[in-house]
Amino acid sequence: SWDPGAAERSARIAAIEATAHGLHWTFAPMVDIARDPRWGRVVEGSGEDPLLGSAMAAARVRGFQGADLSANNTMAATAKHFAAYGGAEGGRDYNIVEVSEQTLKEVYLPPFFAAVAAGAQTVMASFNEVNGVPLHANRRLLTDVLRGEWKFDGLVVSDWGGIQELLAHGVAATRADAGVLALKAGVDVDMVSGIYPGELPGALAQRRVAEAEIDEAVRRVLRLKYRLGLFQDPYRYSDTTRERTLTLAPEHLVAAREVGRKSIVLLKNER
């Protein structure tokens, strides 16, 4: 739509309806820059331009999270997929990404920086590698850049089974190896693979990871739960009255039609 206001409004409505159903965390916005039409996930971003991508990323973070993250109609946003996921070689999903430092910083990273600057509470690691290093094991990007240079203090979540996939990438020989690499790189939450609960206790006993490293990941999770108000009231997002009243509310349907109209792309403008 090239309309950040419309993007922010749509995210605000999505948050209002989703939180009424008990949700408090969304895996959005997707802010990948894509310049190869062969990549089947080109919809997971706002196009090929980092300036537009940055404006849309910030707008959607503001829409989801609002002015008060502990309010019962706001939810934590997730900027994904960090990073350069849309640069997959040959347009093949999950494929390698070979990219210069200049292109990485000028094209692929700006939307993520904009999302973080707008207050995004979480970032999702991407499946791909960047210049030979898979993101789920990429301490330079997840810790040095994201937390060090950008001062991000939220949590990093893996993509679906992303820590397990470090074995397929060939950088880990065992599930325990994968867990150690991911934790040390800066991945706080292990989605689906079960490697953290299954393998980290043994890795800790063998002194392959430090208790302080596990504590720091846990601290980031607890900090987000606190910011969401879940310690004050764990059921603040569960309200059947709000669910009935706000789901597909008339004003939301009007807004959806308006945003949809603004977002239509004409492939051929004839008469």
The answer to whether residues 175 and 167 touch, using CB atoms and an 8 Å cutoff, is yes
Residue in 159, 177, 188, 190 annotated catalytic: 159
Q: What is the DSSP letter of 137?
A: G
**Whether residue 144 lies in the annotated active site:** no
From 101, 106, 107, select the one nearest 36 (Cα to Cα). Answer: 107
Q: In 86-100, which positions are buried (b, 16+ CB within 10 angstroms) versus exposed (e)?
A: bbbeebeeeebbebe
The answer to whether residues 32 and 41 touch, using CB atoms and an 8 Å cutoff, is yes
Reading the block at residue 210, the tokens are 């430090």
Give the length of the chain: 271
Reading the block at residue 19, the tokens are 């939180």
From 115, 123, 159, select the one nearest 141 (Cα to Cα). Answer: 123
Reading the block at residue 13, the tokens are 């409505």
From 270, 263, 208, 259, select the one nearest 6 (Cα to Cα). Answer: 259
- In DSSP terms, 21 is beta-bridged to 238
Task: Give the residue numbers marked as catalytic.
Answer: 159
